[in-house]
Chain A
Amino acid sequence: MEITLQVNGKARTVDVDPRISLLDLLRERLGLIGAKKGCDHGQCGACTVLLDGRRALSCLALAVAVEGRAVTTVEGLASGDDLHPLQAAFIEHDAFQCGYCTPGQLCSAAGMLDEPGPSAVTEDLRTDPGLTPDEIRERMSGNLCRCGAYVNIVSAISEVAR
């Protein structure tokens, strides 16, 4: 099937097998290796991209089902040579070690900053405590980091959220 989707601002038209995931389309066909395959079943968050501006798992999205949508990968976060503030903060706070979960963490954080709060960690859902460390931890829990960089991830995101 031939589909067209916007990838990091550019229209891309590809002929795809209906079985291919958006993740494999990005990595194997479009040469965009930023989105990572960690589990291929929606259990780790390494493949997180922004789909029409909202964070989503590219491993669980069939490419054919996201036809016409706008996809932003980690490669699309920076503006030219200027890193996205989250990218700069991740470097400054040493918010990664092996780096494999990092693109997913960054896309997830970028999407999360625009999402309405609060999350399940807050007692009264009608209040909005803002992006407290507890809120960031809960909202970022869909992105596993086996190196255990969470402490620094939370401090990096906190800096940008302020």
Chain B
Amino acid sequence: MNRIEGRVKVTGLATYAAEYPVEGLVHAFPVQSQIAKGRIRQVDAAQALAMPGVLAVLSSEDPPELAAAASGELALFQSREVAYRGQLVAAVVADTLDNARAAAAAVRVGYDPDDHDVSLRADHPGLYKPDTVNPGLPTDTEKGDVEAGLAAAATVVEVTYATPVLHNNPMEPHAAIACWDDEGRLLVYDTAQGTTWSRDILARVLGLPADRVRVVSRHVGGGFGSKGTPRPQAVLAALAARAVGRPVKAVLTRQQMFDVTGYRTPTIQRLRLGADAEGRLTALEHVAYEQSSTLEEFAEQTATPTRIMYATPALRTAHRLVRLDVATPSWMRAPGEAPGMYALESAMDELAYAAGMDPIELRVVNEPDTEPHSGLPYSSRDLVGCLREGARRFEWERRDPAPGVRRDGEWLVGTGVAASTYPARRRPSRARAVRREDGDYLVQVAAADIGTGARTALTTIAAGALGVDPDQVHVELGDSDLPAAPVAGGSMGTASWGSAVVRACEELKSDGREGVADTTEEIEGDAQFARHAFGAQFAEVRVSSVTGEVRVSRLLGVFAAGHIIDPQLARSQFIGGMTMGMGMALMEETLTDEEFGGFLRRDLAQYHVPACADVRDVEAVWLDERDVELNPMGSKGIGEIGIVGTAAAIGNAVFHATGHRLRELPITPAKILMSRF
């Protein structure tokens, strides 16, 4: 089925957050900190207030009222302490965007700066062990004796991998329009990956009961995690609207998005792998070093995929965090799995070479019977099937493993493989289904369609549950007034919302008029299983021996991700994730400014995401799984697994092409040239 909202999207009628026609709207534009640490001495708004069209200046000089519960990145203008360069320290409200922006440049902020520390290092004295890592997982795990396993190994690989700061960069900037009504009820059009959670957090920050806040996000121009919780623009719009008594629009610039809407933490990852003469792992250790801000603890689960991938008698994983004078990292597509599997799957390739084994066979001999760290059975796992199917399609048996020997003119050619995985979870959700007077069916759930095709997938699911034609089903989502639902995130959206939609439709079928569902109890009763999707990524690259340029001539992903609800949407999701993985492998990198704090390369001309010319032969296929333990659809989430393993597959292919192992992303011409020529 083609996307239900396809027509409004191609005709320019789909309404994104900044685009609602609201009468009397004015504009807010933020002022950002120019120091990385210290205190605000004074905010001088006199000149700005005298400029044309200016209605108000908000700052910590006169902190707008927020709930005591407001903290961290959303506690705007409450404190005079500066936590990072780029933090919002004031904002101008004016009649037009141009006037607001010009006046924001005229706000004078005086600071008492302190020395800052913005550099992640594996030997940083501030490293500590957080209580848990996201989402509430153990920080460290240990099973068996890693040192003994390494000592007994026939082959040992000890390597350190590093990944840079990465930014989600959805095409739609973070934006909000806030309107207060006469009864003090707040309506926010926001760029939210989940309106229920967004409403709850905004209500908490503003000190309002949740039923006095409504968040609407009918169309969201991508998020990839960065719109998973409210970002400062939503709070800013609400505060500004309250201050001037008019609806306010706050849209972040692309540059501001780099500063205040989250990013993927940089990582340093140390891995130690030992294998016996047959390639069976004798020990596996993965330690991740990463950063958070002084405002909030965000502990990415980087080493957690290593807990579930391969059989080994000795397994240790650990995370260490340091709080720096930086913005708070946040979710970015496959948090944990994307950087963690880059390191693990690159190290597995190194182990295969060190042991003289085919990298696919190495993975096959280390296939576990149960989840290695927990001992739980898998609800389903078909990594081997994915590897085998990919090998067949990629003609892997014809591959000469020798690195650095294939040439096409100046271009060195190589291929690589990596495994992929992502948890298959679901969260409690509500939904409502009713028979309309015209005989069609209305399905309501506060889900979000951030480009995943949620409207379309839920229509398919509801039509299937009701046993009717999809044309007769109308799905409403993107509004916190609808039945409460979790965010589009963690590859849990469709599984969570779909479960509730199926149950509501089942009840409607027996009731005849209406069905309402809440899956909280159902999910609490789920049996104990290790639930994950798996996949195999194959890459072919060409590396210029003259320039060090790397071009990806072919990418293939094979996934085992439960029952695929909509093949067209699924293929798009997988390929989209793989394309982002290509960016991670070869070009994406935000630099931290050691001297002044904050980030450098804060725009799309400097932070490169793949362009059309980079994406040539990219294909995704899947092995349909029947997994009855997951949810009524038998589905696993597919939004994130596409990015997992891609960078490793490309990095492994670069090694195969050139004979040089580059262990810091992105793999740029500079690094290739300095290592090789």
Q: Chain A residues in contact with chain B, CB under 8 A?
A: 17, 19-20, 24, 27-28, 31-41, 43-44, 46, 73-75, 77-78, 83, 87, 90-92, 94, 96-103, 106, 121, 133, 136-138, 140-154
Contact = CB atoms under 8 A, between A and B. Distances in A.
Contact of A33 (B12, B222, B605): B12
B98 A87 contact: no
Nearest to B101: A19
Given A44-B604, A99-B10, 12 more contacts: A24-B97, A24-B98, A36-B171, A38-B604, A41-B604, A91-B6, A94-B571, A97-B573, A99-B14, A144-B171, A146-B609, A148-B577
B611 interface: yes
A38 to B, nearest CB: 5
B612 interface: yes
B612 A147 contact: no
Nearest to A78: B11
B170 interface: yes
B669 interface: no
Contacts, number: 179
B19 interface: yes
B12 A91 contact: no
Nearest to A103: B12
B2 A92 contact: yes
Contact of B171 (A38, A75, A77): A38
B552 interface: no
A77 B10 CA distance: 10
19 contacts: A24-B98, A33-B16, A34-B12, A38-B254, A38-B604, A39-B604, A90-B6, A97-B452, A99-B14, A99-B221, A138-B613, A141-B611, A144-B604, A146-B171, A148-B578, A148-B610, A150-B579, A150-B612, A151-B575
A19 B98 CA distance: 7
A142 B1 CA distance: 29
A34 B13 CA distance: 6
B654 interface: no
Given A33-B12, A91-B3, A141-B612, A28 B97 contact: yes
A152 B569 CA distance: 11
Interface in B1-29: 2-3, 5-7, 9-16, 18-19, 21
B605 A41 contact: yes
B9 A144 contact: no
B15 A33 contact: yes
A98 B222 contact: yes
Best-surrounded residue of B7, B9, B13, B169 (most CB of chain A within 10 A): B9
B251 interface: yes
A98 B569 contact: no
A59 to B, nearest CB: 11
Contact of A153 (B96, B222, B609, B612): B612
Given A38-B172, A97-B576, A43 B604 contact: yes
A146 B170 contact: yes
Given A31-B21, A32-B12, A106-B10, A147 B613 contact: no
Given A137-B613, A141-B613, A74 B10 contact: yes
B97 A100 contact: no
Contacts of B16: 33, 36, 100
B613 A39 contact: no
A102 B10 contact: yes
The 10 tightest CB contacts between A and B, nearest first, are A34-B12, A100-B221, A148-B579, A98-B451, A97-B451, A148-B576, A99-B9, A74-B12, A43-B604, A91-B6
Q: How large is the interface on B (under 10, 10 to 19, 20 to 34, 35 or more residues)?
A: 35 or more
B424 interface: no
Nearest to B5: A99
SS class of chain A's interface: helix, strand, loop or mixed? loop
B171 A44 contact: yes
A31 B23 CA distance: 12
Contacts of A74: 10-12
B2 A36 contact: no
Nearest to B20: A33
A77 to B, nearest CB: 8
Contacts of B98: 17, 19-20, 24
A149 B571 CA distance: 10
Contacts of A36: 16, 171-172, 221
B613 A97 contact: no
A74 B251 CA distance: 22
A146 to B, nearest CB: 5
A27 to B, nearest CB: 7
Contacts of A20: 96, 98
B603 A43 contact: yes
Contacts of B11: 34, 74-75, 77-78, 83, 87
A150 B615 contact: yes
A28 B251 CA distance: 13
Nearest to A154: B612
A148 B615 CA distance: 9
Best-surrounded residue of A31, A36, A90, A140 (most CB of chain B within 10 A): A36
A97 B19 contact: no
Contact of B580 (A78, A143, A148): A148
Contacts of B96: 17, 20, 28
B616 A137 contact: yes
Interface string B88-100: 0000000011100
A60 B97 CA distance: 16
A35 to B, nearest CB: 8
B424 to A, nearest CB: 21
B612 A143 contact: yes
Contacts of B603: 39, 41, 43
A96 to B, nearest CB: 6
B2 to A, nearest CB: 5
B149 interface: no
Nearest to B575: A151
B187 interface: no
Contacts of B18: 27, 37
B226 to A, nearest CB: 11
